[in-house]
Amino acid sequence: MKKPLLSEMTLHEKIGQMLCPNQWDVFGRRGPGRAFTDEEMAQVHARYADGQFGTLRGEHTGVFYADPRYYVPVDREENAVEGNLFTLGRAKVPPVLYKKFMEGLGSYIRIPPLVAGDYTVGGATVFEGMSTIVNANAIGAADSEELTYQLGASLARELRCAGVNWRWAPVVDLGNRNSTASMRTFAIDDVERTIRLTKAYVRGMQDEGVAATLKHFPSEGRIEARDPHFTSPCCDDSLETWWSEQGRVYQELFDDGAYSVMIGHQSFPAVDDTMIGGRYIPSTISKKVITDLLKGQMGFQGVVITDGITMAGLYSLMPYEELIVELVNAGNDIILGSKLQSDVLIEQAVLDGRIAESRIDDACQRVLDMKEKLGMFRDDYGVLPYTLEQIAPETKGISAQIARRSMTLVRDRQQLLPIKAETVKKAAIIVSTHADWFMSSINNLKLALENRGIQVHLQRRLKNSAELKAISDENDLIIYAAYVGMHAPAGALRLFGDECHTFYHAFNHGKEKSIGVSFGYPYVHYDTMENAPTFINAYSASRESMDAFVQAIFGEIPCAGKSPVLLIPRVNAR
């Protein structure tokens, strides 16, 4: 089809381009274990036809199994969770069938919808056969624009195999060591590196037909560490500081052609000090931040999407009927997580003068322009010259190269490294994490050692020094492996309680043959494992990173990674 003109669209259709509801809300169900009947699916299709949504959220793949064509019975209690069919990673979706499924939903919408999601570390958590890639810190430590471009491009090709063409990544928040930006941005303490690598990543994605999204504008600042999922954070940078670092990052990436940007829920009082209910308003409803600063002063011409609007940092601020109007008037072009009937609320606000129709036209045009850049109005759109089976090995290989380049030696006080492989017959891995799934991932580390003929003892946590003494007497090498990640644990970037208690006893015995390693948060060495005489940041819980760690400690590859964070954190990062 040809690209629609605004003059050819109804007000209702233009508003539809601004909406990205959660798929489960459109399907109107909670609770798994039952396929929809044909009559129920007809009601779902009618909702898509009525809403004319511009974007479908491609992460909510449980709806795929609600369709009677793809129904999979749930026969295990642990597979059932409220609001989804399967827990993350337990039942994955066949990409080719999912692409057809989403095209089927899109057939009820006159203008082809975008299919979007985060896919932070690849599509493997959702789709069969897709790759898990190393995280942003590993990419930053490897510091290769060529590999970063290749990874962005290859991952985009994988996602296209499932019909996904808009990715809500990469994160470019500079933040501080206590914020999740410390793991999700390529180099929070190196503005130049962040800009270089992000440009390469964005170009790779967009060259392969997946729109990139810079997030979360205007970012959280150098002090704030609160999470908008739970509360209302504040970017308290001065304008001078913001322009010198975070603003510069965004401006250079806008100028380089990023298609979209996501607005965060943090306030930015240096730009807008308006208060509601005793607190500064979130940037998501600030016209001064979005329309005046982002679109005006910075000249951003792409699509502006909100972060998920049901986060506690925004959603409880006012009744939804008021919130949706404020979101549109602030300058957002797409509302992520918009509720059903949002179209009715927005249309009524236009008709009674609370929203100018020119604001709707601006948003709609930006969405249509991005779809045109992606080629969505071409007759052959969706026909791919490759298959997932061809692309996935390439993505995995690129990720492995980055993992090997990223290994960062934080310290080696006793010159333990490289270890002579023939001196290690037995090794112990002591794990500290709040993420239960990591205990499955750590088996990749165990396997990498066993493949070198080493007998491996694996356990979670230490009880006391006597237990460590027995482990030390029995083993030639002790590896203290830690994982802290985003929402693991929720609300903090720390080991605490029993997981932290291990380090009351750690290194009391066998210190001379002990290595600490973080497969996530890069400040474990500072917060918890300062007593580790040898420490490596491996950054990612992927198999490739665990293999690279073993190669590094035995001297098979150099620890050549450049830390993407200051190893001694900024004083003002509380």
Q: Is the pLDDT of residue 299 over 50?
A: yes
DSSP 563: P
Q: What's 347's domain CATH number?
A: 3.20.20.300
Is there a domain that residue 70 lies in?
Answer: yes
Give, in degrees to the nearest 5, the angle at Cα 93 between 88 and 97: 160
pLDDT at residue 124 in the model: 92
Q: Is the pLDDT of residue 202 over 90?
A: yes
Please compute the mean of the pLDDT values over residues 493-508 and round it to a whole number: 90
Tell me the β-bridge partners of 428: 457, 478
Dihedral (CA of 564, 266, 272, 167) sign: positive
> CA-CA distance, 74 to 338, in Å (whole number)?
29
Same domain assignment for residues 366 and 487:
no
Query: pLDDT tens for residues 3-17?
Result: 999 999 999 999 999
> CA-CA distance, 449 to 457, in Å (whole number)?
11
Query: pLDDT tens for residues 266-287?
Result: 999 999 999 998 889 999 999 9
pLDDT-based confidence at residue 60 (cuts at 50, 70, 90): confident
Nearest by Cα to 336 from 120, 117, 171, 108: 117
Q: Is the pLDDT of residue 88 over 50?
A: no
Q: Is the pLDDT of residue 76 over 50?
A: no
Same domain assignment for residues 427 and 375:
no
Q: Is the pLDDT of residue 90 over 70?
A: no
Q: 81, 112, 143 — which closes off a domain?
A: 112
Q: 60, 80, 112 — which closes off a domain?
A: 112
pLDDT at residue 324 in the model: 97
Same domain assignment for residues 371 and 346:
yes
> CA-CA distance, 48 to 105, in Å (whole number)?
7
Same domain assignment for residues 329 and 280:
yes
Q: What are the angstrom distances between the C-alpha of 288 and each of 56, 208, 245, 350?
A: 29, 34, 20, 21
Of the listed ranges 376-380, 471-475, 482-486, the one predicted with least confidence: 482-486
Is there a domain that residue 455 lies in?
Answer: yes
pLDDT at residue 85 in the model: 41
Q: Catalogue the E-assigned strands of 52-175.
A: 55-57, 114-117, 166-167
> CA-CA distance, 123 to 94, in Å (whole number)?
11
Q: 69, 84, 112 — which closes off a domain?
A: 112
Of the listed ranges 83-92, 127-136, 137-146, 341-350, the one predicted with least confidence: 83-92
Q: Is the pLDDT of residue 169 over 90?
A: yes
Same domain assignment for residues 71 and 198:
no
Is there a domain that residue 446 lies in?
Answer: yes
Nearest by Cα to 329 from 9, 18, 12: 18
Paired sense of beta strands 166-167 and 114-117, if any: parallel
pLDDT-based confidence at residue 64 (cuts at 50, 70, 90): confident
> CA-CA distance, 342 to 92, in Å (whole number)?
31
> Is 187 in contact with 196 (CB distance < 8 Å)?
no
> CA-CA distance, 314 to 107, in Å (whole number)?
33
Q: What's 485's domain CATH number?
A: 3.40.50.1700
Same domain assignment for residues 18 and 60:
no
Query: pLDDT tens for residues 240-269?
Result: 999 999 999 999 999 999 999 999 999 999
Is there a domain that residue 562 lies in?
Answer: no
205-240 residues labelled b (16+ CB within 10 A) or e (exposed): bbebbbbbbbbbbbbbbbbbbbbbbeebbbbbbeee
**Which two structure tokens, joined as six digits, stand for 161?**
């195999």
Query: pLDDT tens for residues 415-439?
Result: 999 999 999 999 999 999 999 999 9
Same domain assignment for residues 292 and 227:
yes
Same domain assignment for residues 366 and 228:
yes
Tell me the β-bridge partners of 483: 433
> CA-CA distance, 278 to 340, in Å (whole number)?
30
Query: pLDDT tens for residues 118-144?
Result: 998 999 988 999 999 999 999 999 999
* Residues 6+ positions from 274 with CB-CB distance below 8 Å: 280, 281, 286, 288
Same domain assignment for residues 374 and 276:
yes
pLDDT at residue 63 in the model: 86
Same domain assignment for residues 152 and 233:
yes
Q: Is the pLDDT of residue 230 over 80?
A: no
Helices (H), 422-566: 438-441, 443-450, 465-474, 497-505, 524-527, 543-553
- Domain containing residue 88: 24-98+106-112
Please compute the mean of the pLDDT values over residues 496-519 and round it to a whole number: 94
Percentage of residues of the chain with pLDDT beyond 70: 95
Is there a domain that residue 573 lies in?
Answer: no
Is there a domain that residue 178 lies in?
Answer: yes
Q: What are the angstrom distances between the C-alpha of 427 and each of 57, 198, 241, 476, 542?
A: 45, 39, 48, 6, 21
- Structural domains in the chain (count): 3
Q: What does residue 380 show for φ and ψ, rounded to 5 degrees?
A: -95, 15
**Does a cis peptide bond (omega within 30 degrees of 0) precede residue 218?**
yes
Dihedral (CA of 430, 434, 437, 438) sign: negative
The mean pLDDT of the chain is: 92
Of the listed ranges 190-194, 312-316, 445-449, 513-517, the one predicted with least confidence: 312-316
Same domain assignment for residues 292 and 383:
yes
pLDDT at residue 193 in the model: 98
pLDDT at residue 231 in the model: 75
Please compute the mean of the pLDDT values over residues 551-568 and round it to a whole number: 96
Is there a domain that residue 3 lies in?
Answer: no
pLDDT at residue 77 in the model: 42
Same domain assignment for residues 94 and 137:
no
Radius of gyration of the chain (CA): 24
Which tops the pLDDT comparison, 1 or 378?
378
Is there a domain that residue 200 lies in?
Answer: yes
Q: Can you give 10-60 as a three-state secondary structure string?
A: CHHHHHHCCEECCHHHHHCCCCCCCCCCHHHHHHHHHHHHHHCCCEEECCC
**Which two structure tokens, joined as six digits, stand for 325?**
């109007």
